Amino acid sequence: MKDLHTFSAKKLRDLFLKGDLSAETITKHFLSRIQTHNKRLGAFLKVFDEKSQKQARALDKKRSAGKPLGKLAGIPIGIKDNTHIQGEITTCASKFLEHYRAPFSASVVRFMEEEDALFLGKLNLDEFSMGSSNENSAYMNAHNPWNTACTPGGSSGGSAAAVSARLVPMATGSDTGGSIRQPAAFCGIVGFKPTYGRVSRYGLVAFGSSLDQIGPLASSVEDAALMMETIGRPCSHDPTTLSLPADSYLDASITDLKGKVIGVPWSFLNNLQTTSQKNFQTSIDTLKDLGAKIEEVDLSLLRYSIAVYYILATAEASTNLSRFDGIRYGTRSASGSSFEEIYQKSRNEGFGDEVKKRILLGTFVLSAGHQDEFYRKAQKMRYLIQKSFNEAFAKCDYVVMPTSPVSAFPLNSFQDPFDMYLQDILSIPANLACLPAVSVPAGFDEKNMPLSLQILGPQCHDSLVLQAAHAFEKATPYKHRIPEAFA
């Protein structure tokens, strides 16, 4: 079947379970698409060609033997290359880790293996997940399938590009300040950041430990919910995971928002570009048509979110990356003649410019003379942002806003890093407040680049957020759209 890539992940699974398709046929189809398209997309850093086919043949034998099959049986999946698969290289798109072979699998990988997922390879990202455009990868830029001159977003740009071009039906990403949702928005797919602690971070190379969260990127809300049913569960290896009961995440029979109140922080959104503003208003009208009541909520404190985030995230990054010294982890410099020289030169040669900037900033805000001035004030403001969301959710069921203030921009657009950092202003608040948030396709701009709607909910209300996204998705014509060049 030549059109397998147009099927949803759920449909591929159902066809496999019924015996209409073999896992080997599915795997070969997507491996062929990767071979054909990855060179111009830069989505995959490593493809598991032989390994995935062997895995598929074993799954076919399991089905033939009449053994029980998992929720993800027959579904090819890409893994962001900051997440460990035992025995495989985890580079984090950094030269520092180009030879680092993972000694264990991340919990999310293990959970998906138990449900018979097929792993096709490791996906490109900004180095150590630090970036919003995938231009900080040490190996290659990833490109947007809707226009390869544009960024797919970051840091999970490889994951978003791969799903958008249907090189895989779904992929994992990690979200520290919008790194699942923003690339999903730029590439016209669904990206979901769960409540902090809903998904185990064990086996994820840490950027900002109080902000990081693994989640799915998929072509539909239903597929994202399917992955969440597998990975969204407690883990004994991660003490920050929440002990919550199993969740189906989505009731596909509910397709309206009757009785729901949706909050809109209009005062925070007054600087949107004209196209984004018009598209957002159209999305609001769709939510009204679905039966929702729209109310304004005060989230004016979100104007501080960029400053708060880049203090806290860089402080945590500085601490987390201190372990990469060329002695215990990573590539060791060959030119150092003493311990201090090896440490200094290994980090200087191994880390890219953006990672160095964030380590320096994080070390600065944690230094003895500046902790009170910056770090502690940022922690206090984070608490106030969380409080303002709690007050908003006392009046409404959801908060909505665009995922990004702009559509995907051309590669090499920003020379000033602060201009790039501002692109995250609408996605960062969910991470600071530990909220579940989803980006769902909402239209296209005048250049035929995707635009999106972001839906946020209270902590632990992940299923309600996906339910609202599903209703919106059903009411709009953008589900499963594939870029013309990759159809």
For the annotated catalytic residues, the residue numbers are 80, 155, 179
Q: Which region holds residue 410: left if phi is over 0, alpha if psi is between -120 and 50, else beta?
A: beta
Cβ neighbour number for residue 487 with a 10 Å cutoff: 11
Instruction: Using DSSP, state whether 12 is helix, strand or coil.
Output: helix
Backbone angles phi, psi at 263, to 5 degrees: -95, 140
- For residue 58, the number of C-alpha atoms closer than 13 Å in the C-beta half-sphere is 10
Torsion, CA 477, CA 473, CA 395, CA 213, rounded to 10? -130
Distance from first CA to last CA of the chain, Å, rounded?
Answer: 14
Nearest to 115 by CA among 8, 9, 242: 9
Helix, strand or coil for residue 79? strand
d(CA 89, CA 138): 15
Q: What is the rounded distance in angstroms from the CA atom of residue 399 to the CA atom of residue 385?
A: 14
Query: Can you state the percent helix, strand and coil of the chain, rounding each to 5?
Result: 45, 15, 45
Tell me the DSSP string of 175-214: -SSSTTHHHHHHHTSEEEEPPTTSS--TTBPPS-TTT--E
> How far from the centroid of its chain's Cα atoms is residue 210's Cα?
16
210, with CB counted inside 10 A (0-12, 13-18, 19+), is: middle
C-alpha distances (whole Å) from 299 to each of 185, 222, 267, 272, 386 are 22, 30, 8, 16, 10
CA distance 90 to 83: 7
Rounded Cα gap, residues 71 and 53, in angstroms: 19
| Spatial CA neighbour of 191 closest among 475, 434, 427 | 427
CB 290 within 8 A of CB 324: no
Contacts of 149 (CB under 8 A, 6+ apart): 143, 410, 411
Residue holding tokens 């609202």?
A: 468
Instruction: Give the helix/strand (H/E) hosting 346.
Output: helix 339-350
Residue labelled with tokens 């883990």: 235
